Amino acid sequence: MKTVTRESRRDFLKIASTTAGGLFIGFNWFSCDSPKVEVLSTEEVLAQAKPFNAYLSISPTGDVVIYSPNPELGQNIKTSFPMVVAEELDADWEKVRVIQANLDTEKYDRQLTGGSGAMPHSWERLRKAGATAKYVLVAAAAKMWNVPAEEITVENGIISHKGSGKSGHFGEFVAEAAQMEAPEEVQLKDKKDFKIIGTPVKNVDADEIYTGKPLFGLDFYREGMMHAMVQRAPFGMKIKSIDDGAARAVSGITDVVQFGNSVAVVGNSTWPLMKAKKLLKIEYEAESTVESSADHDRIFQELMANGKSDVRRQDGDIKSAFQNAAKVVTAEYQCPFLAHSPMEPENFFAHVKGDRCELIGPTQTPDRARQTAASILGIPAENVTVEITRLGGGFGRRLRADYVDEAVHISKAINAPVKVTWSREDELTGGAYRPAVRYRFEAALDANGTMIGYKLRGVGMNAGNTTREHNFPSGAVDNLLIETVNYESSITTNAWRAPITNFLAYAEQSFLDEVALEAGKDPVAFRLELLDRAKNNPVGQLGYDVDRMIGVVKTAAEKGNWGKNPDVKQGFSVYFSHRSYVAQVANIEMQGGTPVLKKITAVTDCGMVVNPTGANHQVRGGIVDGMGHAMYTNLTFENGLPKQRNYDSYRLIRLKEVPEIDTHFIDSGYDPTGLGEPALPPTGGAIANAIFAATGRRLRSQPFIEQKEFSDIKLEIRRS
């Protein structure tokens, strides 16, 4: 079925008839015998290219330039966005150049990376960008050849008319097409005709990445630029006094700047800053609560018992359900604070020039960077430009603009361009963590082992709503109560890859395993029984598509050979988040009394897969991320500061610690949904459940390796 869509004014600027171009005598790709052709630089292509819309310019040489507006942090959007545009354009991918667009709120909508939302948000507008350009190129060819447009075909960047035998590459029609109006409506391709979407197109930045070219914010350099590092206050504290004498005496230090509760050392290069920062003598005093992990333990216990809750959802009569229950299952789960720890530490370049400001660096939210600078400087947002570099990971940390804030303050104070660089210690102590949370689950079972009541009470440290009240198993249980309690901690928190669900899914999927066991049911059969109820006789609102969830559960059971081999101990988990569905099976084999985690099978329904390579990357990466943090990573506090300050104590998963990961995708016929996050949430539960199946030890706290239940089971991770 073909889709007809309407134009959106916001994204589709009219073709500018005034742009330069057409005079350049470019290389003619089709009149030369030699395949050894002149390769134009992207700048040379752009100098003669005509813009067709916000996403697309085409040069008379036939080269296609596609702008990718959303920040690239490893989710592969800089490759997958242009694939969608090129698909509808019927471009030759070999002739496509991709450019990271700078922040432009006039041209682009939702120019940010977060919530696994870029592809679902932009899918249709990217397709329209390609399709409208193709439409006018075809119209130009029809006019120039004096043939009906309907008889013209386009393939691989070549426009052809069979009847007259005429054909030419895109570039030959660019000048004529530029005189034409973009259509109000445009036909999109039938998905079965896709040639680029669904193929494993390689990373468009591969050459630069593998040869060490400057790509990332930390690599940015400009003549005359100063460097700065910042000492921030412990959480809940403020500066009482500063002695910067020793810091200023370090060779290469030019300035020490204070703003708020931060002190910046400024110099000509990075190393002297690291030395000088250690020599700052800053005395702090309490400003609000100065917390340690022991305080958090106490606060969690108090609030779990007595804290005033926000009731998120209530179905049926929870009280009688528990009174009439044949069996009640109760368990508490907990997860610690975590830092994001992207490999590229936070950094940003700022140059304040009077009432203007130039920003360059890695950000998931370029518009927030711009607004931050405008607010500090008291200037209009349009006086601030933001150039987006490639991001060396983000995981939610770069949704914040605190490091942009610092760069702007320092540039203003020293009246010079400056790049702020955070050390790893800064990154781990600098806040905006994944919040710490605890959950108490209670399930009421009747004599048949049917779950007739379900209670979830979450307590979080600056977590907001710690639940997802309309997610499974809501809708499948008659009597249900979901409530959350928030504690306002002085320790700052922020979205962290798959916010809330990154720990909620582990806790819930592990608890459901406990309930299945108590009900005497197979964990997969128990989930399917609940889903069947939600499908046929749902209770209240459903925040998920039951059929799609059943689809991944059944397929994961099949692909993961669930319950087929008694020597393989398995854990199951399924979760819906960010519009996608992922089910996982973790396999542990006992080898000479030692449990060996060997394999995780993952089945994903994220709608249509745009790029199988990228999709595999996101699923495997999400699983490695979810597994690493569930198993190994902890962030604990003493007097307002984390105790773990670098990778020697803040343990990240390494290569030898990953099992085989077998990925499968369900083609459900839906448009693509998010994939940067959804594979992470189910992983902790799948592993915890497999460990229970293999050892009888239930791991209700992360990280697993620090739990006493884990200490003597000697889990190994091997692929063979």
Partner 1 sequence: MASFNLKVNGKSFQVEVEDDTPLLWVLRDHLGLVGTKFSCGIAQCGACTVHINGNPTFSCVTPVSSVGNSEVTTIEGLSENGDHPVQQAWKEVDVAQCGYCQGGQIMQAAAFLEQNPNPSMEEIDNAMNRNICRCGTYHKIREAVALAAKNK
Q: Which residues contribute to the site for partner 1 (CB under 8 A)?
A: 72-76, 200, 202-203, 205-207, 209-216, 218-219, 221, 227, 251-252, 269-272, 274-275, 341-345, 390-395, 421, 423-424, 613, 617, 620-625, 628, 646-648, 652-656, 658, 661
**Nearer CB in complex with partner 1: 525/652:** 652
CB 197 within 8 A of CB 88: no
Q: Which residues contact 81 (CB under 8 A, 6 or more apart)?
A: 66, 68, 69, 70, 118, 119, 122, 126
CA distances from 469 to 395, 403, 461, 534, 541 (A): 24, 34, 18, 14, 10
**Nearer CB in complex with partner 1: 410/443:** 410
Alpha helices in 348-500 (DSSP H): 366-377, 402-414, 424-429
CB 691 within 8 A of CB 699: yes
Q: How far is the CB of 270 from partner 1 (least distance, A)?
A: 5
How is the chain split among helix, strand and coil, in percent rounded to 5? 30, 25, 40
Q: How far is the CB of 552 from partner 1 (least distance, A)?
A: 21
Nearest alpha-carbon partner for 414 in 270, 257, 272: 257
Crossing angle of helices 402-414 and 366-377, in 10° steps, is 40
Q: How far is the CB of 654 from partner 1 (least distance, A)?
A: 5
Q: How far is the CB of 648 from partner 1 (least distance, A)?
A: 6
**Nearer CB in complex with partner 1: 218/630:** 218
Q: Can you tell me whether residue 175 is helix, strand or coil?
A: helix
> Which pair of structure tokens corresponds to residue 302?
């108090």
Residue 58 and residue 54: Cα distance in Å, rounded?
12
DSSP state of 465: -
CA distances from 375 to 4, 73, 411 (A): 42, 26, 15
> Which pair of structure tokens corresponds to residue 476?
């499948």
Q: How far is the CB of 66 from partner 1 (least distance, A)?
A: 19
Residue 350 and residue 360: Cα distance in Å, rounded?
7
**Nearer CB in complex with partner 1: 9/656:** 656
**Nearer CB in complex with partner 1: 183/252:** 252
Q: How far is the CB of 717 from partner 1 (least distance, A)?
A: 11
Q: How far is the CB of 135 from partner 1 (least distance, A)?
A: 33
| Three-state secondary structure string covering 106-165 | CCCCCCCCCCCCHHHHHHHHHHHHHHHHHHHHHHHHHHHHCCCHHHEEEECCEEEECCCC
Residue 549 and residue 581: Cα distance in Å, rounded?
6
Question: Which contiguous run of DSSP H or E holds residue 629?
Answer: helix 612-631
**Nearer CB in complex with partner 1: 52/81:** 81
Question: Which contiguous run of DSSP H or E holds residue 509?
Answer: helix 501-519
> Which pair of structure tokens corresponds to residue 459?
């307590």
Q: How far is the CB of 395 from partner 1 (least distance, A)?
A: 8
Q: How far is the CB of 391 from partner 1 (least distance, A)?
A: 6
Residue 283 and residue 233: Cα distance in Å, rounded?
9
Q: How far is the CB of 617 from partner 1 (least distance, A)?
A: 5
CA distances from 205 to 73, 97, 610 (A): 12, 10, 18
421 DSSP β-pair partners: 347
**Nearer CB in complex with partner 1: 341/510:** 341
Residue 17 and residue 2: Cα distance in Å, rounded?
30
**Nearer CB in complex with partner 1: 218/325:** 218
**Nearer CB in complex with partner 1: 513/625:** 625
Q: What is the dihedral of CA 62, 68, 73, 75, to 10 degrees?
A: -80
> Which pair of structure tokens corresponds to residue 229?
């590092």
Q: How far is the CB of 372 from partner 1 (least distance, A)?
A: 23
**Nearer CB in complex with partner 1: 22/214:** 214
| Backbone CA torsion sign across 540, 542, 548, 552 | negative
**Nearer CB in complex with partner 1: 326/343:** 343
Q: How far is the CB of 239 from partner 1 (least distance, A)?
A: 25
**Nearer CB in complex with partner 1: 89/215:** 215
Residue 472 and residue 532: Cα distance in Å, rounded?
12
The pairing of strands 594-605 and 716-717 is parallel
Q: Can you tell me whether residue 349 is helix, strand or coil?
A: strand
CB 511 within 8 A of CB 467: no
**Nearer CB in complex with partner 1: 72/483:** 72
Q: How far is the CB of 565 from partner 1 (least distance, A)?
A: 23
**Nearer CB in complex with partner 1: 215/436:** 215
Q: How far is the CB of 616 from partner 1 (least distance, A)?
A: 9
**Nearer CB in complex with partner 1: 205/589:** 205
Q: How far is the CB of 214 from partner 1 (least distance, A)?
A: 5
**Nearer CB in complex with partner 1: 137/609:** 609
**φ and ψ at residue 462, rounded to 5 degrees:** 50, 45
Give, rounded to a whole angstrom, the gap between the first and last alpha carbons of the chain: 47
Tokens 């994001």 belong to 340
327 DSSP β-pair partners: 445
Amino acid identity for residue 426 in this structure: D
Within a 10 A sphere around the Cβ of 222, how many other Cβ atoms?
11
Q: How far is the CB of 245 from partner 1 (least distance, A)?
A: 19
Q: How far is the CB of 393 from partner 1 (least distance, A)?
A: 5
DSSP state of 478: S
Q: How far is the CB of 341 from partner 1 (least distance, A)?
A: 6
**Nearer CB in complex with partner 1: 497/521:** 497
CB 372 within 8 A of CB 401: yes
**Nearer CB in complex with partner 1: 313/651:** 651
